[in-house]
Amino acid sequence: MDTPTYYQNIKPLFSQYDRIKMMYFADLWDYKQVKAHAKTILLSLKPRMVDGKPDPAGWSELPEVHVMPLYTGPWPKSQVAIFESWIAAGCPEGEAPPAPPTPGPLVEGFLTLSRVLTGFDDLNDKVLAQTYINRLLAESNAAKNNQLEALLTAFSHNPQVLDADGNCVSSYSQYLALIQDITVLWYLSSIDGALGTPENNQYIQGLVWPAIDAHPMGFANTNEQFYWRYKPEGGDFTGLQIVVPRAAKK
């Protein structure tokens, strides 16, 4: 294969579960940290040999450390070889993820409207707002695309979008589908009914989590070594489940 790089070949080897369990040591999804600890990580991936066979006690080549990943099981030899080749090549970074979007002219109005629709008055992240605007325009149909700026203009003149029961008032009925999409987008980080994934990082920022006083499934925002006691079911991470949020905090 071609020379392995971190973003294309190494980062995908570390599951989100691995990342969380090892956060006390290093962030396995951070290139600079993995590069700095690469040789130590490699030793922990390889079993210590005893009489030509892997140590039956499960110890790795790193003294007093069992073969990693301890919780998800040892990597196949092919994956260890990729990691070893990456180190031998000088730990190339590869093509980094795209830079965050630059906030555009719709962001301020979008944030103000979103605070009303979601019930969260502390929405201030302009980059996240622009990310959501981009997703909204990409995932909604053409009619909704044309409506967004019109909705924000209407809102700037008449901020009474919802009645006392939280329903859309009649003067905004033409924007109802778009208003629903914006609300769902903030709560679930997606429009299509599935939570955003850890890879795009919006999954962890869905308002559903603070609304129900919970951590995102499969993610810990603190460096706690034992955030999960048991390995999650269903793959490398959980969280692609539909969640019905309770009322937002006021």
Domain that holds residue 74: 6-88
Residue 149 has a pLDDT of 92
Same domain, 225 and 145: yes
Alpha carbons 50 and 60: distance in angstroms, whole number: 11
Q: Which of 28, 54, 88 is the last residue of a domain?
A: 88
- Cα–Cα nearest to 189, from 233, 235, 234, 245: 245
The 10s digit of each residue's pLDDT in 164-213 is: 998 999 999 999 989 999 998 899 887 765 555 544 556 678 898 788 87
Among residues 88, 109, 140, the one where a domain terminates is 88
Asked whether residue 72 falls in the same domain as residue 110, the answer is no
pLDDT one-digit tens code per residue, 121-137: 999 999 999 988 988 88
- Identify whether 1 is part of a domain: no
CA distance 167 to 179: 11
CA distance 56 to 137: 56
249 shares a domain with 134: yes
Encoded amino acid at 31, one letter: Y
Give alpha helix (H) positions in 126-193.
Answer: 126-139, 142-157, 176-188
One domain for residues 200 and 129? yes
Which residues lie closer than 8 Å to 84 by C-beta, 6 or more apart?
Answer: 42
Which domain-ending residue is among 50, 68, 88? 88
d(CA 141, CA 11): 34
Rounded CA separation 89/91 (Å): 6
Structural domain total, the chain: 2
Same domain for 195 and 155, yes or no, is yes
- At 39, the pLDDT band (50, 70, 90 cuts) reads very high
Indicate whether 77 and 109 sit together in one domain.
Answer: no
**What's this model's pTM, rounded to 2 decimal places?**
0.62
Cα–Cα dist 180/237, whole Å: 28
Inside any domain, residue 227: yes
| 146 & 47 share domain | no
Q: What is the dihedral of CA 152, 154, 157, 163, to 10 degrees?
A: -100
Find, among 172, 169, 135, the residue nearest to 153 by Cα.
172
